[in-house]
Chains A and B, each alone.
Chain A
């Protein structure tokens, strides 16, 4: 194994992107993700890449659109309010079937909110994020190592499916430092015959566009895109299961909340409570199978979220309301404590065994 280094989550994303062959970064500063831009500003010139601080988030996402049109790996990053500004561009990227990587290091909202961590952009990320019928691949890292690993994977899958990969992190993961290994075998980029790279007068020109003059053609394009989404839902969902085998209570959480939840699961196990954890790693596609597996076994699911409860809706859909799902949460930049989650587990345990 390669030597480890000590990095902030934001820095790990930036370095992993460079390793993955991303030589184009466009962004606009916002706490708590500014280290991504700061790191890129230092590193990109040294690797022959481009770092450009755009005049706004809107400009940055459209620069991403431009580079993505050439089939070149490209990324931008922001935090919650800045991602909202990029919304139009995210929809255009989807409409033009362009691969790109977008990072959202979430902060408390709505509005300008605050700079403390949050997970309240779950709906925005997983249900499209802007106008029109579309999805993004959404990855939810839970460690600095995963910030890096999922960035590399995000680029690969974005290319494969010609769509945006979003890394949905939060202020804690962006700011915290952990040892990380950046030892990747980088695959050669796949062929992109659709890219607008110049015809050399040897082929018909490629068109990158999201405007359709005939509704029949637009409908057909949407149908075809959703066929692709269906294939992704069947093959790309990722999740972690922890002590679920005999669990009568399932705690579920993603990202930083899952680390708190895992601590609480261990504390509850020490008290003899049969509890396990399901941690979605991809939020879209949502790992429905993980939840369907516990139908008939688990008597209660507790969704632990740093929001007013967003993922909980997907959990309920996944279990088709056959298992009661309750919420354990903090919001507005506050973080759940292991004790709070433990209390929810103990209460649930009393209720299901009453």
Chain B
């Protein structure tokens, strides 16, 4: 996978953005020395990048997130070092954005500088099995709301369609048309379709740009 200096991961609430952010940071680290995740989720106090602190540290990936993440301090705080993403041009960044348009508001603050530098991709994470984005029409509606909130445009789509631990290969195969339809209607490309380790071998010849999530979220 080709990475720009900044990779922005945004999408519907609960679409799998954080998990993908952590996975892509590990992927990015294979080719770049200086990699960081910037967590600007102001929506959800749970299931944060901070859950992966140890993994990220072990792999030499810097985590920039609110010091209140995963604590009882339930406030929509942004990290102090947020502007490093546009000031530190030597570092490659994954930005993990909070869900929906409400979460994307925080990205709007960074948008002018990111657009000015123009070395970024912004991926829309979709899951066909989330009821509020279960068809292309509703998924595109949420996508436009996010774009309006952060004043940025998506550059690609990540198809993360899954039913958690119950996901079957036919669930993933059945989501390809859905993701392609969103791509067709928005003029974007499906840059990745994600799948967990157990299904990867079965599907790797059947789906373009299939990506194996090495890190699985466990409950």
Contact = CB atoms under 8 A, between A and B. Distances in A.
Contacts of A337: none
Interface stretch (B22-30, B113-121, B125-133, B201-209): B125-133
A31 B134 CA distance: 26
Given A4-B166, A32-B46, A179 B14 contact: no
Contact of B129 (A6, A31, A39, A171): A6
A114 B72 contact: yes
A116 interface: yes
Interface in B52-87: 72, 74
A47 interface: no
29 contacts: A5-B130, A5-B131, A5-B134, A5-B163, A6-B14, A6-B127, A6-B129, A6-B130, A6-B162, A6-B163, A6-B164, A11-B131, A15-B131, A31-B74, A32-B45, A32-B46, A39-B132, A42-B132, A43-B132, A108-B72, A113-B72, A115-B72, A115-B74, A116-B72, A175-B47, A176-B219, A177-B14, A178-B164, A179-B166
Closest 4 CB pairs of A and B: A114-B72, A6-B129, A179-B163, A5-B131
Interface string A170-208: 010001111100000000000000000000000000000
Interface of A: 4-8, 11, 15, 31-32, 35, 38-39, 42-43, 108, 113-116, 171, 175-179, 333
A178 to B, nearest CB: 6
A175 B46 contact: yes
A178 B164 CA distance: 6
A333 B46 CA distance: 13
Interface string B123-145: 00001011110100000000000
Contact of B45 (A7, A31, A177, A179): A31
Contacts, number: 50
A39 B219 CA distance: 23
B14 A8 contact: yes
Contacts of B47: 175
Contacts of A176: 219
B102 to A, nearest CB: 8
A4 B47 CA distance: 23
**SS of A interface (majority):** mixed
Contacts of A114: 72
B72 A4 contact: no
A304 to B, nearest CB: 18
Nearest to B166: A179
Nearest to B219: A176
A7 B166 contact: no
Contact of B164 (A35, A42, A116, A179): A179
Interface in B1-44: 13-14
Nearest to A30: B74
A175 B43 CA distance: 13
A250 B119 CA distance: 61
Contacts of A35: 13
B51 to A, nearest CB: 12
A35 B130 CA distance: 14
Contacts of A179: 129, 163-164, 166
Nearest to A6: B129
A171 B45 CA distance: 11
* Residue among A6, A8, A113, A175 with most chain B CB within 10 A: A6
Contacts of B219: 176
Contacts of B14: 6-8, 11, 177
A15 B134 CA distance: 14
A179 B162 CA distance: 9
